[in-house]
Structure 1
Amino acid sequence: MSSSKNNAPKRSRARSAARLAAVQALYQQEMEGTPTPLLLNEFHNHRFGETIDDVTMIDAEMDFFDDIVRGVTARRDEIDGKVSARLAEGWKLDRLDRSMRAILRAGTYELLARPDVTVGTVIDEYLDIAHAFFGEKDVKFVNGLLDAIAKEVRSS
């Protein structure tokens, strides 16, 4: 996380932590096929607030985390359709890195289902996550794709 996040209000930091945890959970679910209730239980009981290498992880807003994970799972086909429609000709969703798919799915879900969160916040938060896993070219890809989806699903 960037240092500016450390100065953010507590709820904002808790939501940022929830988003990162959701991306990690969605990645794990795709890798291992973990059923959603088990996955949520594992994160609630073993991941949030955990201390790793003498650093305590920020407590995530659990309801927000649950909503993203459950929402992506429930609306996977719709979300994947939105993402796939924005890929370059000849590209398929399964060709993307699993971490990239998790980021795009979570971001797309928020754009579709969380009108209480601004487009700018959604895109900025998932760009921060993308920076943790990918180089600038891939971060720009995430930005362009989420921006295009936002223009479609948030237009009045």
Structure 2
Amino acid sequence: MAASSETPNRASSRSAARLAAVQALYQMDMTGIDLTDVVAEFEAHRLGQEVEGDQYCTAEAKFFRDLTEGVVREQRQLDPMIDQQLAEGWRLNRVDSILRAVLRSGAFELFMREDVPARVVITEYVDIAHAFFGEDEPKVVNGILDRLARKARAAEFARSGAGNG
């Protein structure tokens, strides 16, 4: 993970919260389940719990809620910004549901959570993409989030010199 001001335990609980948020957004997209219901389900049964033999890492519940609720709240603003970064002829609604959730969550963090360094956001969501996909999709996530970060956080990139990826 990229260097940040987060302590190792806080960083890993935030990584788990990001993964859970992507999974919750995917579940909402695929099933039409309500935001309130999916957040309640994840908090009660998934965050830090064992599900189908897999032990979920303890996730920072407040951060999970902020990401999930924030993506839903800001989706009408985020989607056009993501659309502009996609290859010509592609629209976000044509992208795989998991990839769409990764991009929306990453974009939300870049534009609305300035307390998290842009490079940390990019690295985290590229890692999440690797958990679900082969090489192409993580590269797409890296490229799109890097371009969005340079728009949302131009000052961060100007201060630190060379870019990410």
TM-score normalised by the chain length of structure 1: 0.91
Residue matched to 2:89: 90
- What CA deviation, in whole Å up to 9, does each residue of 1:50-79 have, x standing for no partner? 124655321100000000000000000111
CA distance in 2, matches of 1:99, 1:25: 10
Count residues with an aligned counterpart: 150
Residue matched to 1:22: 21
Bigger mean CA deviation after superposition, 113-122 or 86-95:
86-95
Residue matched to 2:48: 49
2:11 matches 1:12: yes
Which amino acid counterpart does residue 38 of structure 1 have in structure 2?
Answer: D
- What CA deviation, in whole Å up to 9, does each residue of 1:67-117 have, x standing for no partner? 000000000011101100111111111111000000000000000000000
Instruction: Calculate the aligned-residue CA RMSD, in Å.
Output: 1.5
Bigger mean CA deviation after superposition, 122-131 or 55-64:
55-64
Any residues of structure 2 matched to 1:7-156 within 5 Å, and which? Answer: 9-52=8-51, 55-156=54-155
CA distance in 1, matches of 2:105, 2:99: 10
Seq. identity, %: 47
CA distance in 2, matches of 1:67, 1:53: 26
Which amino acid counterpart does residue 116 of structure 2 have in structure 1?
Answer: V
Equivalent position SS for 1:75: helix
CA distance in 1, matches of 2:55, 2:131: 18
CA distance in 2, matches of 1:85, 1:120: 21
Residue matched to 1:5: none
Which amino acid counterpart does residue 150 of structure 1 have in structure 2?
Answer: A
TM-score normalised by the chain length of structure 2: 0.87
CA distance in 2, matches of 1:45, 1:53: 15
Unmatched 5+ residue regions in structure 1?
Answer: 3-7
CA distance in 1, matches of 2:112, 2:88: 27
